[in-house]
Structure 1
Amino acid sequence: MPLVRIDLRKGKSATYRQAIGRVVYEAMIGVGVPANDRFQVITEHEADNFLFDSTYLGIERTEDLVIIQITWNEGRTVEQKKALYKAIAAGLASMPGVRPQDVFVNLVEVKKENWSFGNGVAQYAA
């Protein structure tokens, strides 16, 4: 059920981008997302179209910033969300080598009836 959007500066290899997607997917599995529920859009941006504050909240960000937005069903605990953030940052630090300071995650929670996975059907609607 999650839809993941990953945004980064243009110029990284396909292997780098795929590693980011894999780490995010594995972190979501770790907090209860079903296996095989992988829908991701990875978008690269020119520097002029990828704007961010390099020191907001005292965190030193570089042009290697990765912005990850996950839209998923509501209902997870704060502890699960914290575990997700930690797993993504640690995983990306390990492979492909993104500094934890350059990992920005945003969660968007929606009701289950707000999904159609195909055929014009709301598969999760009651």
Structure 2
Amino acid sequence: MPLLHISMRAGKPEAYRQAILDGLYLAMREALNVPEGDEFMTISEHDASNFRCGNAYGVKRSDDAVLIQITVFASRTAEQKKALYRRIAELLGENPGIRSEDVFVNVLDAPAENWSVGNGIAQFA
């Protein structure tokens, strides 16, 4: 039950944004065994004055940097997360052509009782 928030600079065409969503969904299906149809993702676009990515940690980022925050059940292993990071960078590199240096991913673990996916109930608690 991942929940994704993607932030990027404004101005990319719809096909570019859709390729990001499609790539992230495929990476989660492959690396985290996310079920079919488990797609809860938003993209927020920001003008240049409201979006900043530095070059810390030895990574030279460009204006095409994409910040991806993924909240998941607190049951994912470190190996699953590492596979996810690799696969996201590969897929977004293939389409829409984002450099791996510009793919910033943060995974947040949340206990199962922290989720309600509808109807006002805690389905996983």
TM-score interval for Structure 1 and Structure 2 normalised by the shorter chain: over 0.9
Partner deviation per Cα, 1:55-93 (whole Å, 9 max, x = no partner): 211111000000000001011111111100000000000
Give, in whole Å, the separation in 1 of the partners of 2:71 and 2:91: 20
Following the alignment from structure 1 to structure 2, what is the Cα–Cα distance between the partners of residues 106 and 5? 10
Q: 1:117, CA displacement in angstroms?
A: 1.0
Amino acid at match of 1:118: G
Alignment of 1:77-96 (within 5 A): 77-96=77-96
Q: Secondary structure at the match of 1:24?
A: helix
CA distance in 2, matches of 1:119, 1:58: 45
- Residue of structure 1 equivalent to 2:70: 70
- Which structure 2 segments of 5+ residues have no match? none
TM-score (norm 2): 0.96
Residues in 2 aligned to 1:28 and 1:100: alpha-carbon distance in whole angstroms: 17
1:24 aligns with 2:24: yes
Percent identity over paired residues:
51
Q: Residue 82 of structure 2 aligns to a residue in which SS?
A: helix
Which aligned segments of 4 or more residues in structure 1 are displaced greater than 6 angstroms?
none
Any gaps of 5 or more consecutive residues in structure 1? Answer: none
Corresponding residue for 1:42? 43
Distance 2:46 2:8 in 1: 6
Letter in 2 for 1:43: S
2:5 aligned partner: 5
Give distance in 1, aligned partners of 2:77 and 2:120: 30
- Give the match for residue 111 of structure 1: 111
Q: Distance in 2 between matches of 1:75 and 1:6?
A: 22
